[in-house]
Chain A
Amino acid sequence: MRKEFPMLLTVVAALAVILSQFFFHIYNLGWLDVLDKWSNLMWAIAIGLGVINLTLIHGKKIMRRAPGYYNSIVLLLVLYGYGILGLITTTEGFHHKWIFDNIFAPMDATLYGIIAFFITTAAYRAFKVRTWEATVMLLAAMIILLGSAPIGEAIWGYWGDVRSWILNIPNTAGMRGIILGIYLGGFATALRVMLGLERAYLGGVGGR
C-alpha cells in the first residue's frame, strides 16, 4: 500500500485536473478550485517540512562539531531569528524591512552584478573562430550584443534591424522547436507518471 496509495492519489488528482481543463461540465464541478486550495495548504506544509529538515541536518552538524559547523550556527540563527522577527513585526515592519533592504538586497544584487565580470572573461575565452559553427555563433552573439545597446545603432544605423531579424526569424524558429520539444517531453513524463511507469517521485518507495 505504501506504493499503490500514493500512485492512486497521483492518478486521481491528475485526471481531475486534465478532465476539468478539457470538459466544461467537469470544470463546473469545481474540482480545480478544491485542488488549488489543497495545493496551497501543501505549500505551507512543505515550508514547515523544509524548516524541520534544515534544523535536523544542521543541528546534527553542530552537535558533531563537523567541519564548518559555525556556518550551520549562522544559518539556523538567521532562519529562526529573521523568521520570528517577521512573525512579530510582519514583513513590512521596520526592523524586518531594514534588514531586507540594507543587507539582503545589496548582497543579492552584488552577486548578480558580479556575473558581468565573469561573462566578459568567459566571452573573451570562449568566442573563438575555431570552426564554421563557432564562427556563426560568434557573429550572431556580437550582433545581438552590440544591437542590444544604443552603441550598435550609433556605429551603424541598421545594426538594430539586423539584430531584430536574427531574433525574429532564426531565433524564433529555433526557440519554437525547443519549446515544443520541452512540452512534448513534459507530456510524455506526465503520461509515464499517470501510468505508474515513473515512480521517482515516490522518494524511493517502489522506485525503479
Chain B
Amino acid sequence: MQRLQALGRRPIYALVFVVGIVAFLFPLGLPVKIGSDVRTVYNALDALPAGSLVWVGAEYDVSSKPELDPQVVAIFHHLFQKGLKPVVYGMWLRGPTIVQDIVAPIAEQYGKQYGVDWINLGHKPGTTTNLRLMTSNIMEGAGGVDHFGKPLADYSIMRGVNALDKASGFRHIIVVETGSPGSREYLGIVSAEKGIPMSVATLTMSIPENKPYVESGQFTGQIGGLRGAAEYEILVGKPGRGASGTDAQSLAALLVFFLVVIGNIGYLTSPRK
C-alpha cells in the first residue's frame, strides 16, 4: 500500500497522455450545465441593440490559444448573430493576429464585411498608456491605421467613432485575456471611467482572481476556460471545440482526483508519516 505514494513521473505522464487520447477518440458527450457567470455575459450582449459597437480586447498569446480560441469563436458567433459590430484591439503583440484568423471565416459565414460590420485595429505599442489614449482619441491611439496598416478613415465603421466611449457608440467591452495587461487595466482605464460595461473571457486558472470583480458587479460576467467556452457555445447554438475539449478536461480531472486519492492512501498507510 505504501508504494502508492511513490509512483514515478513516467507512468503518470503516460496516464495523462492516454487519457488525452481516449477523450479525443471516444468523446463522452457529458451534459454541460450553464453557469451564472457565462449566462450574464450572454444576456448582456443579447440585450444590446443591433449596430452597437462592442470593443474586443485581444489580450492573449498563442500559448493560451487552446483555451481561449473556442471562447472567441463562440463570442463572435453571438456578436454577428445579433448584428453587433466588433472592434478588435490588442495590447498584446499577437492577440489581434490570432483573433483576425479566427474571426475572418466566421464573418464570412454571416456575410459580414470587414470595415463595415467589424474591424481589427491591431496591436499598437504602449500597452496601458495607449489604451488610455484610445479613450480620448482612437485615431491617434491606433496611429490612424488598422491591423493591415490601411487608413481607418477609409472604413465606414469608423465614421463618427472618435474615442473608446459611449458617445462613439461603444456599449460593451469584452476582454479575452491571459494575464496583464488585461481585464484589470480595462476596468480602471476604460470601464470605470467611461461607464461602459465589461466582461472577461479568461483561462480556467484566472477564474478565482476575477471572481471578486464579478461579485461586485464591476465585471458583467466571465467566461472561464474550456468549460466557459462550452457553455457559451451551447447558448449560441454552435457546439465546437469548447464542448469537445471538456471531455478531455473531465477525464484529466478524474485522473488527478484518482492519483491524489491513491497517493493519500499510500501516505496514510505509511509508518513514516
Q: Which A residues contact B (CB, under 8 angstroms)? A: 32-33, 35-37, 39-40, 43-44, 47, 90-92, 97, 100, 104-105, 108-109, 111-113, 116-117, 119-121, 123-125, 127-130, 138, 142, 145-146, 148-154, 160, 164, 167-168, 171-172, 175-176, 179
Contact = CB atoms under 8 A, between A and B. Distances in A.
A100 B260 CA distance: 39
Contacts of A160: 33, 35
Interface stretch (B41-49, B122-130, B152-160): B122-130
Interface residues of B, number: 64
A167 B215 CA distance: 10
Contact of B264 (A105, A127, A145, A167): A127
Interface string B235-273: 000000000001001111111110110011001100001
B165 to A, nearest CB: 14
Interface string B184-217: 0000000000000000000010011101100100
8 contacts: A40-B126, A43-B125, A44-B125, A117-B16, A123-B256, A130-B267, A145-B257, A148-B227
A21 to B, nearest CB: 9
Nearest to A125: B263
B132 interface: yes
> 8 tightest A-B contacts by CB?
A151-B250, A40-B126, A112-B63, A39-B129, A150-B30, A149-B250, A149-B249, A124-B259
B250 A40 contact: no
Interface stretch (B6-14, B51-59, B79-87, B108-116): B6-14
Interface string B17-42: 10000000000001111011000000
